[in-house]
Amino acid sequence: MDRRTKYTQSIIKESFITLLKNKDIKKITVSEICQKADINRATFYRYYLDVYDLLDKIEEDFVNELKLASVDKMNYTVGTFAKDLLTTFTKNKDLAKILYYTNNNSTYFLNDIMSLAYEKCKTKWQKDIPNLPSEDIEYAASYIFNGALGIINYWILNDFDKTIDEIAKIIEELAYYGTYRFIYKKNSF
């Protein structure tokens, strides 16, 4: 892709994100995006089918950035994966909030990332415990990654109120020790 194409797509995305900060996606038109980006409609349609296709491409780019942040780690843990993921979120706070709110308070667009994490966990668990039943892997992975998504949802909803390290520690502690240690041991009298 040449520089001019990259620039044009970038300005279209930035214009769209700026509009999304103040307006519901259903009320944003291609004409508004073009006016804000200072391009004509034909240029927009050269790259995107409509506003929703543009949103899909933005989500895809964000997910790809998240994937790149966590690829090829040698000492992969739930905590290191969480930190990589959360760091990318904080670098793109406005975009994360927009994607979160546009998708009705859901991080379903992160399912690709969670699939990647699942594969890494599965590979590690199968290596560490060769006789581990695949059903146990499925249950454990579902518990960890659905819980992590819930924590990320809550974190975004609360406007990134905790640091990356704090959230990563919560995810890691709950993943490894469950709620007993996190709730009861920490708050025992």
Q: How far apart are CA 136 and CA 62, in angstroms?
A: 31
CA 65 to chain centre: 9
Lookup result for tokens 């909030």: 97
Query: Is residue 44 located within the same domain as residue 105?
Result: no
pTM assigned to the model: 0.75
| pLDDT, tens digit (0-9, with 9 covering 90-100), for 80-109 | 888 888 888 888 888 888 777 776 655 666
Query: Is residue 74 located within the same domain as residue 166?
Result: yes
User: Which backbone phi and psi does 75 adopt, to 5 degrees?
Assistant: -100, 65
Domain count, the chain: 2
Answer whether residue 36 is part of any domain: yes
| pLDDT, tens digit (0-9, with 9 covering 90-100), for 164-189 | 999 999 998 888 888 777 777 666 64
Query: Is residue 42 located within the same domain as residue 71?
Result: no
Lookup result for tokens 């706070």: 93
Query: Is residue 39 located within the same domain as residue 82?
Result: no
